[in-house]
Structure 1
Amino acid sequence: MEQIKNREYGGERPLFATHDLQLENVIIHTGESALKECSNIIAVNCRFEGKYPFWHNDGFVIKNCLFTEGARAALWYSRNLQMTNTIVEAPKMFREMDGIKLENVQIPNALETFWHCRNVELKNVQIDKADYLFMHGENIRIKNYSQNGNYSFQYCKNVEIRNAVINSKDAFWNTENVTVYDSELNGEYLGWHSHNLRLVNCKISGTQSLCYTHNLIMENCTMADDADLCFEYSSVQATINGPVHSVKNPSSGSITAESYGEIIIDENIKAPGNCELKLWDN
């Protein structure tokens, strides 16, 4: 493997179509597509400032690196990435990718990141300013995760999340086969139009959560005081550890809780309209 140390590059495609290359203490200055159409690349302690540095790559390892804001849209149309101990300040990262492993990574400006990505693993990742995160993703596994940003995980399939704090309006819309364990989900309109959403040991907050859901399962969850007008037009099997403060027109299934606050069952309920509201004492 060829090694390049303590060098600086700029301009257009300075390392285009290189293979079996290790970069150490390298700076990629303003320009475009520094490492486009490459394979088997290792980057250690590098700084990326130019746009689109890693496009159409197959097999690359990134350790202890920095992607500045100027390195926007840095990783697209690529496969088999391993990234550790890295800060990504650039927005619109990770598009149309297959095979992503991130560990100990911070993404403070994650606008429109992780679109159309498959086979993704995140561990100890912190994400902020993350509006429209994870659109149309598949086969995603996340552990020890924090996120601030709205409209996340829309149209995703086959997602498993553990030990997370997710602050996101409109999270998990139109998703399929999503399971969340031991997490906090804070934001309005959670999980609308989802199929097979399962929440285990989770805390839910925000207005009008979990409406229009199909086959919603909740196990040992809690509902915050602001979680109102929940479960409208949803099919649900839920065990709530504590009170449910507001329920509106659930379609079918059953909900078991310590107590109920406002219960709205009116002429607008959708068939079959037979959801049972049970108490633990019963």
Structure 2
Amino acid sequence: MDSVERLVVQVSESNRLLHQGGVSRWRISLMLLDNTAELLLKRECDSRLSLNHLGQGYYESVCAALERGETEEQPTQFDDDDELPRKLVDVKVELERELASDEELEKIESEFAPKVAYLQRNDVFSPFHAAVLRRLHLYRNEIYHDDKVRPATVEAAAKIYTYVVCDLMRRSSTSGVPIAFSVPTPELDALYPEQQHHPYELSRYADSLLSLSPIDTAEKLAETLSEHLIDRLEELDLDLSYVQTRGSNFGVVVDE
């Protein structure tokens, strides 16, 4: 539950910073959201890969059965009587999607992009969603490691990341490490004094956190995306102006 509490508090603090405004606060907000996103991805990967070593053994047995010319799974005592056996070729494809090699596991554990790639492969989110996550993470790296902040876009990036993180919370199917119900949650209690906090539920907080953010409706998301696009187009105009004039009137937008 403590990990759920930390994630919820991080998004809540990000909301507070976004409402207060200012480039420095937007920068911190983006870093909080990126950390939350990576932890959510890690929780989901850990849950799906917790029995990876057992799955690898079964995958090897499926491959061996296919080599022997077998075509269907052998029934077990746990199968329903009216359930048809699965085709081994389908089982092999499913296992190849769900399992990860030792090398991939190491990368999933330590890097952002492999987590995204693994979950995309398993249909947790779409290729478009995955591309947005990767781009926002790269933007976070710019502002965190290189202190490269783009004032015209950092606010929009943080708002968009808020929506993405809350969406990840909704999709969350994991509970983290099970704990007793009696574990105190003072920070969650302060944020949600009227609620009982279930140690297995993270998704229940997503709608509330989004509603308290500056991007609480689809219309506001669309507005943010439009403003972001306009800012990027203005940057492009400046770049074109620089190229066309070889820098002689840099900063003056060329009006075609």
What range is the shorter-chain TM-score in? under 0.3
TM-score in terms of structure 2 length: 0.23
TM-score in terms of structure 1 length: 0.21
- Tell which structure's C-alpha radius of gyration is larger: 2
Higher strand proportion, which one? 1
Greater RCO structure (CA 8 Å; 6+ sep): 2
